[in-house]
Homo-oligomer: A and B are copies of this chain.
Amino acid sequence: MAYEKKIPVDLDCPLRLTMSLIESKWKSCILDELRNGEPQRPSEIHKCLPEAAPRVLDIQLKEMVEDGLVKKTIYPELPPRSEYRITELGLSLIPIIDQMLNWGTEHFDIFEKKYGKKN
């Protein structure tokens, strides 16, 4: 009972439900990382998302496990080893991730011009 999630998910409406599962800063990126179905060790995920503080990835991965988007396997070895793998449920979100990826790619220049450093 160490870490406890305050607001698990938003059950007010279907749209808010979906959003609440992926809107944390790095969750969509984690899903994108795991999309190919290959299991990944925490240290690998950290390396792929170097901008994120490792602690946040730990927390968000834990929430995603709790929500059923990701499955964790712990190998009782030393040094410790564990792996995260996307679940069927998590996989069913990939089309959404994809559309956001595509949209972002298509419209990137608009926002680059608008908000980028070098106008």
Binding site for B on A (CB under 8 A): 8-9, 11-19, 22-23, 25, 28-29, 32, 51, 67-68, 89, 92-93, 95-97, 99-105, 107-108, 110-112, 114-116
**Copy total for this chain:** 2
DSSP class of A's interface residues: helix, strand, loop or mixed? Answer: helix
**Complexed CA–CA distance, A17 and B112 (Å):** 10
Chain B residues lying within 8 Å of A13, measured Cβ to Cβ, are 29, 104
Asked if B9 and A101 make an inter-chain contact with CB atoms under 8 angstroms apart, the answer reads no
> What 7 A-B pairs have minimum CB-CB distances, sorted nearest first?
A14-B104, A18-B100, A18-B104, A17-B104, A23-B23, A8-B115, A14-B105
With A29-B13, A105-B14, A110-B68: A19-B115 Cβ-Cβ less than 8 Å: no
